[in-house]
Amino acid sequence: MSRDVYESDEILQQYLLFHYGKPEEQLPWSFGPAGALDFPRRCVTEGFLPDRLPGRSRALDIGCAVGASSFAMAEIFGETIGIDYSDTFIMAARTLAREGQITYSFRETGQLTKSIVAHRPEGPHGRIQFEQGDAERLRTGLGSFDAVLAANLLCRLANPRNFLERLVELVRPGGQLVITTPNTWLESFTAPAYWLGGTPETGEPLEALTAELDPHFERDAVWDMPFLIREHRRKYQWSVAQASRWIRRSEG
């Protein structure tokens, strides 16, 4: 397994449903965990505190997948950049930004599928662009941002510290960083030597993350965020991400 798994049609369809599906499409069971729906938007609405931001000009959504969280950030900020490693995800996000919708299918059971349309969120929003990129090797010239979101990204990187080290440059003093992660550390994505916690020697992931971000970031809040990814009508991935908000310390 590697990040190339996110180039498959099956995963693209799962993520389009995860980001844009109606509640009854994502979870057709009244007794299911409805509180785990709408995760990409909740990362923004629960994560960022606009009233405490020194500015609202620029936002970065790194690991944006097919873009729902980027669209939510664009409702707050004048410019939003969404970056993902997957070309397939970025092409879908660009189609939605350009055309307002995209048709896709999701699996019901076996080879039975259902075709539906994902729609770009309505309402006014700032300028938004999507680009393919590697979180560990982000291009130069990105500049700095008032808000950065990294949703369920860290445990899919070969060496997450390469990304964390870049955050000092990316987040403006006083700006907010929101990180969510289910801490699903797998050797197929990340060698154990590069895990952030999760071993007897390194302890709890949150404390390892805090050690990496200090002294440039102050941990402001920690909370749990359930999310649900549908594989087919009778099989789901229910997970609980550990969410944390960090404030970039002022220089000097």
Spatial CB neighbours of 88, under 8 Å, sequence gap ≥ 6: 6, 7, 8, 9, 11, 12
Residue 2 has pLDDT above 70, yes or no: no
The tally of domains found in the chain comes to: 1
Q: Whose CA is closest to 229, among 237, 241, 221, 219? A: 237
pLDDT at 121 over 90: yes
The contacts of residue 237 (CB under 8 Å, 6+ apart) are 228, 229, 230, 231
Could you identify the residue written with the tokens 């970039």? Answer: 248
pLDDT at 180: 98
Residue 184: per-residue pLDDT: 96
> pLDDT (tens digit, 9 = 90+) per residue, 14-69?
999 999 999 999 999 999 999 999 999 999 999 999 999 999 999 999 999 999 99
* Nearest-angstrom CA–CA distance, 169 and 81: 16
Lookup: tokens for 117:
């349309």
pLDDT tens readout for residues 79-120: 999 999 999 999 999 999 999 999 999 999 999 999 999 999
DSSP letters for 157-168: SS-HHHHHHHHH
Strands 217-232 and 127-132: unpaired
pLDDT at residue 252 greater than cutoff 60: no
* pTM value > 0.75: yes
- CATH number at 58 reads 3.40.50.150
Number of H helices, E strands in the chain: 7, 9
Residue pointed to by tokens 């019901």 = 108
Give the pLDDT band (50/70/90) at residue 6. confident
CA separation for the pair 214, 13 (Å, rounded)? 38
- In residues, how long is the chain? 252
Torsion over CA: 195, 199, 205, 210 (sign): negative
Give 224-244 pLDDT, tens digit per residue: 999 999 999 999 999 999 999
pLDDT band for position 3 (50/70/90)? Answer: low
- The domain in which residue 243 lies consists of 3-248
Q: Tokens 């009778």, residue?
A: 234
CA distance from start to end of the chain: 44
The tokens describing 164, both together, are 């964390």
